[in-house]
Amino acid sequence: MIKSMTGFGRDESSNDNYKISVELKAVNHRYFDVSTKMPKKLNMFDSSIRSLLKNYIQRGKVDLYIMFEDFTEGQENVKYNSTVANEYVKYLKQMADEFGLDNDIRISSLARMPEVFSMEEVALDEEALWSQLKETLENACKQFVSSREVEGERLKEDLLNKLSEMSAYVAFIEERSPQIISEYRQRLLDKIADLLEDTKIDESRVVQEVTIFADKVCVDEEIVRLKSHIEATKEALLSGDSVGRKLDFIAQEMNREANTILSKSTDLEISNIGIELKTLIEKVREQIQNIE
């Protein structure tokens, strides 16, 4: 299915530990370019996030916003350091022996000694956090792709209509071109007749002049190529692949053929239609810029 490069997706998930909100939007761009804004705590997942996005997005300027709330923040665990406690007990006993004092070590006293007990913040569960973040990202990406497909269908229909208009313009030029040569031949004969009056016209000379003129204004090759480009564009649109770059190239080729037709034209009608054709090709090319 044809996808626009304009899209939007959002998702949110929450549990006892974390709340994650993901929002992404995109506009057209020649390549895949992502700009991520997220808390520093999630920086460890930057590479994984980009890899995941590439599964859903091939081209476009993507802005990704990730909001994160850590409900475990501020929660602390008590840590008992038995090594430190043993050191305190050993030296207190040594002091009692050295100075002949009663050993009155109590648990309550020992517990108040520095470093026997310490408080540690609950560490992030990276595996669980990534699992939740990944699921939220994927849901947002699916919504994002869906919005691109909807817009892509609109683009496809609009482009197919414009291609039909282009075909009509090309058909007019194709039909009109032989008439120009006939009209030129008649004008040439009339002019010679006026100049020579009763003198016999050299038909071979007329044929030669008409042939030279026909060669100068001939656009048969350009018409054939334009028809081919129009059909190739239709086929690409109906194929449903990621064809933005290919269509952009074809549009450039169509523009080149239209320019050549205009440069060769000596006929007002063909020139006017050629200008309309060139304008339409430019509109098509602008639309193609929005296709992934």
Same domain, 174 and 98: no
Mean pLDDT over 252-265 rounds to 91
Q: Which of 59, 30, 262, 250 is nearest to 159 (CA)?
A: 250
Same domain, 178 and 200: yes
Asked if residue 214 has pLDDT above 70, the reply is no
| Interatomic CA distance for residues 216 and 199, integer angstroms | 29
Q: Let me know if residue 277 belongs to a domain.
A: yes
- What's the number of CA atoms in the CB half-sphere (13 Å) around residue 241? 9
Same domain, 231 and 268: yes
Distance of alpha carbon 114 from the chain centroid: 59
CB 149 within 8 A of CB 257: no
| Interatomic CA distance for residues 244 and 155, integer angstroms | 12
pLDDT score, position 42: 93
φ and ψ at residue 248, rounded to 5 degrees:
-65, -40
Same domain, 204 and 105: no
Same domain, 94 and 112: yes
Mean pLDDT over 109-118 rounds to 84
Residue indicated by tokens 């006892």: 16
CB 106 within 8 A of CB 85: no
Comparing 25-29, 99-103, 126-130, 185-189, which segment has the lowest mean pLDDT?
185-189
The pair of three-digit structure tokens given for residue 188, joined into one six-digit string: 């040439």
Which residues, 6 or more positions from 72, have their beta carbon under 8 angstroms from its beta carbon?
17, 18, 122, 124
The pair of three-digit structure tokens given for residue 67, joined into one six-digit string: 């909001």
- pLDDT digits over 162-208, tens only? 999 999 999 999 988 878 877 666 776 667 666 666 556 666 766 67
CB 133 within 8 A of CB 14: no
Mean pLDDT over 253-272 rounds to 90
Neighbours of 280 (CB within 10 A): 18
Mean pLDDT over 11-22 rounds to 94
Q: Which domain holds residue 20?
A: 7-72+126-148
| Interatomic CA distance for residues 219 and 177, integer angstroms | 8
Mean pLDDT over 49-71 rounds to 94
Same domain, 196 and 235: yes
* Sign of CA pseudo-dihedral 253, 254, 255, 259: positive
Asked if residue 281 has pLDDT above 70, the reply is yes
Antiparallel, parallel or unpaired: β 32-37 and 60-70: parallel
| Interatomic CA distance for residues 11 and 140, integer angstroms | 5
Q: Let me know if residue 187 belongs to a domain.
A: yes
pLDDT higher at 279 or 100? 279
Same domain, 156 and 51: no
Total number of domains in the chain: 3
pLDDT score, position 200: 66
| Interatomic CA distance for residues 121 and 47, integer angstroms | 26
Same domain, 39 and 158: no
| Interatomic CA distance for residues 139 and 15, integer angstroms | 16
What's the Cα-to-Cα distance from 12 to each of 70, 136, 213, 292, rounded to whole Å?
14, 6, 70, 26
Q: Let me know if residue 208 belongs to a domain.
A: yes
Mean pLDDT over 232-258 rounds to 90
Question: What's the mean pLDDT when you consider all of the chain?
Answer: 87
Mean pLDDT over 29-51 rounds to 93
Same domain, 193 and 115: no
Q: Let me know if residue 1 belongs to a domain.
A: no
The pair of three-digit structure tokens given for residue 41, joined into one six-digit string: 């705590």
